[in-house]
Amino acid sequence: MAEIEREAMEYDVVIVGAGPAGLSAAIRLKQLDADLNVVVLEKGSEVGAHILSGAVLDPCGLDALIPDWKEKGAPLNVPVKDDNFYMLGEAGQLRIPNAPMPPLMNNHGNYIVSMGNVCRWMAEQAEALGVEIFPGMACSEMVYGDNGEVKGVVAGVFGLEPDGSYGPNTEPGMELHGKYVFLSEGVRGSLSKEVIAKYDLSAGKEPQKYGVGMKEIWEIDPEKHKEGSVTHTMGWPLGSNAGGGSFIYHLENNQVYVGFVVHLNYKNPYLYPYMEFQRFKHHPMVAELLKGGKRVAYGARAITEGGYQSMPKLVAPGVALLGCSAGMVNVPRIKGNHNAMLSGKAAAEAAYDAIKAERSGDELTAYETVVRDGAIGSDLKKVRNVKPLWSKYGLTASLALGGMDMWTNTLGFSLLGTLGHGKNDAESTEDASKHQPIDYPKPDGVLSFDRLTNVSFAATNHEESQPCHLRLADPDIPVKVNLPEFDEPAQRYCPAGVYEVVEDENGPRFVINFQNCVHCKTCDIKDPSQNITWTTPQGGDGPNYPNM
C-alpha cells in the first residue's frame, strides 16, 4: 500500500480522551499559560457520551483545580446524606455499622453526580480558557519520532473499507503532534496499552487487575426516593463465585443509579456477570426500592482494581499516562475520578515547567514523582492490600483483614507490607471441566432485562460498513481453543452481547456483533487466550450516555 499522506498540526500538548483526567490537564495548562496550544481529542460523539462512573465524587480533585467550582455552576448538586453498607443473603440483609469502618470509607463531604455532566461542564471551562476540544475524533495510532519518542497521534480516520483497507471514501485523518502527549483514555486504553508495552512500563510492577461495572439509571416512586442516599452491598448473588458488589445512589429528580461490579479474576468460565447484576435486582431489599419504577438507561465499563502496586511507570519519552490509563482507582472506596483529576493537574504542571525550560519529547519525571509521593500515592497506598486479600481469602476474611490493614495504614504502617496480585485476570479463568454451568433465572422484563434489550438503552451505534474494531489475533482460537476449554466465555463476560457462538450445518462459528459494543473493554482484559484486541472504531461511534 502507498504511504498514507496526512496533514499534521502542531500543539504544545496533545491530550487523548476528554474524561476527568484529560480535561483537568487541559484546564490546568491554560490556567498556567493562556498562550499554550492545547488540544483534547475525544472518541465519543460529544464530551460525556462515553463516560460511565458510579458516581460518588470526592471533590478534592476539583477543589485543587477550580476552587470556586460552586460559583462557576459545577453540577455537584447532591451532597451525600447517608451512607449504608449491607451484606446480602438471598432473602435478607445485614447492615454493617459505619463506626468500625476506617475514616477513608466515609462518604461525608462527597457528592452524587453524573460524571458525564461533570465532564460536559469541565469541557465548557476548558473551552472558555481556549482549549480546542474535538469530539468524534478517535485516536487510532501513535506517531513516534526519529529518536523513538512519542511525537503525536493519528486521529479522525473515517470511511475505511470493511477489510480495513483504504477506499475512495476514506478520510486518512490527521497527525496531531505535541511537545508532550497525554494519554487519558481511561481503563485499558488502546493506545496506552501499546505505549505500556513499547516502553515496558509495567516492568517490575504487579499485573493490572480489573472489574466489569454495569449500571442502570432508574426513575423510582418519589415516596421511596431519598436524595443523597448511598448504599453499597456485598455477598449475594456472587457468594464465593467472584468478588464484587453493588452500589445504589439516589441522585436528583427521583433517579437512582443502580450498579454492579464483578471482579474479573473469577475462575468459573460459566459465570455471567450481566446476569449476576440482573439477579441482584430481585433481592427483596432492591426489588422493593425499584418496584413501580422504570429503567431509563444502561451502560457498562471496566474499572481498574490493581491500585498502587499495579500502576505502571507513568512516563516515557514524550508521553505521560493519566488517570485510569494508569489505573488510579481506590478499590474499597470505588473511586477514581478524584485521582484522575489530580493526575491531570500534576501532569499539566510538569509539562508547563518543561515547556518553559524549552524541553520537549523527554520524560516528565516530575509528574511521576508528584503522583507517587503526593496525594494520589498516599490515597492508593493505604488500601493496597484490600484487593489481594479479597482475591486470596474471599469476602469475609478480607473484610476483617482488609479493614484492619486500612486502619493500620491510616495510622502510618502495615503489618502485611505490600501484597501481590499474582495472575492477571485472563489467566485466572479455569477450564470449564472444573466447574458447573450456572442456572440463571430468566429476566422478568420488569426488574431484570435481557442483554440486548438493555443494550438498546445504551444508545450505542457503530457504522456497519467499517472494519470490526474487535480484532482477533488468531480467528481460529474462539472455536478451536476457547470453546472446548472454556465454553467460550466471551458469550457471557461481554455485558453487551457482542460475542456469540452460532451452530449451523458446518459446526460452531464465532460471531462478533461489534455494532453492540459499549466500549467497556472487558473482552480485551478477560479473554483467556488474550486473543482479542479492542481498537477504536471510527470517531463518534459507541454509546451515547445521557447522564451516566
Ligand X SMILES: Cc1cc2nc3c(=O)[nH]c(=O)nc-3n(C[C@H](O)[C@H](O)[C@H](O)COP(=O)(O)OP(=O)(O)OC[C@H]3O[C@@H](n4cnc5c(N)ncnc54)[C@H](O)[C@@H]3O)c2cc1C
Q: What are the residues binding ligand X (CB under 6 A)?
A: 16-22, 41-44, 50-57, 138-139, 184-186, 189-191, 213, 215, 259, 261, 301, 303, 323-325, 329, 334-338, 340, 536
**Burial class (CB within 10 angstroms; exposed 0-12, middle 13-18, buried 19+) of 132:** middle
Smallest distance from ligand X to CB 112, Å = 8
Residue closer to ligand X, measured from CB, 48 or 478: 48
Write the burial class of residue 91 (CB in 10 Å: 0-12 exposed, 13-18 middle, 19+ buried): exposed
Minimum separation from the CB atom of position 368 to ligand X (A): 16
20-32 vs 337-356: helix axis angle to the nearest 10? 40
DSSP-assigned beta bridge partners for residue 13: 38, 180
Left, alpha or beta for 293 (phi > 0: left; psi -120 to 50: alpha)? beta
Instruction: Tell the smallest beta-carbon distance from residue 333 to ligand X (Å).
Output: 8
Residue 50 or 250 having the CB closest to ligand X = 50
Instruction: State which residue, 376 or 389, has the beta carbon closest to ligand X.
Output: 376
Buried b (16+ CB within 10 A) or exposed e, 469-479: bbebeeeebbe
Supply the Cα-derived Rg of the chain in whole angstroms.
22
Nearest to ligand X of 152, 478 (CB atom): 152
Residue 257 CB, nearest distance to ligand X (Å)? 9
By beta-carbon proximity to ligand X, the closer residue of 16 and 525 is 16
C-alpha to C-alpha distance for 123 and 117, rounded to whole angstroms = 10
Distant-in-sequence, close-in-space partners of 442: CB < 8 Å, separation ≥ 6: none
Shortest Cβ distance from residue 433 to ligand X (Å)? 32
Looking at the Cβ atoms of 482 and 547, the one nearer to ligand X is: 547
Q: What single DSSP character describes residue 478? A: I
Containing H/E element for 103?
Answer: none
Q: Which is nearer to ligand X, 28 or 335 (CB)?
A: 335
Q: How far is the CB of 317 from ligand X (least distance, A)?
A: 20
Nearer to ligand X, 124 or 500 (CB): 124
Instruction: Give the nearer residue to ligand X in terms of CB position, either 36 or 329.
Output: 329
C-alpha cell at 259: 450498579
CB of 539 to ligand X, least distance (A): 7
**Which stretch of DSSP H or E encloses residue 484?**
helix 483-486
In terms of CB distance, is 332 or 497 closer to ligand X?
332
CB of 261 to ligand X, least distance (A): 6
Closer residue to ligand X, CB minimum distance, 337 or 360: 337
Name the residue nearer to ligand X (CB basis): 86 or 486: 86
Q: Which of 247, 292, 186, 120 is nearest to 534 (CA)?
A: 186
The answer, yes or no, to whether the previous bond of 155 is cis (omega within 30 of 0) is: no
Q: Tell me the closest approach of the beta carbon of residue 294 to ligand X, in angstroms.
A: 21
CB 522, min distance to ligand X, A: 10
- The set of cell numbers assigned to 538 is 471510527
Cα separation, 76 vs 69, in Å, equals: 9
* Cell numbers describing residue 469: 474494531
Cβ contact 366:377 at 8 Å: no
Residue 457 DSSP symbol: G
DSSP one-letter string for 10-32 = EEEEEEE--SHHHHHHHHHHHHH
To ligand X, the closest distance from the beta carbon of 184 in angstroms equals 5
Q: What are phi and psi of 27, to 5 degrees?
A: -60, -45
Residue 177 corresponds to which cell in the numbers above? 503532534
Nearest-approach distance from CB 504 to ligand X, in angstroms:
36
Q: How far apart are the first and last CA of the chain?
A: 42
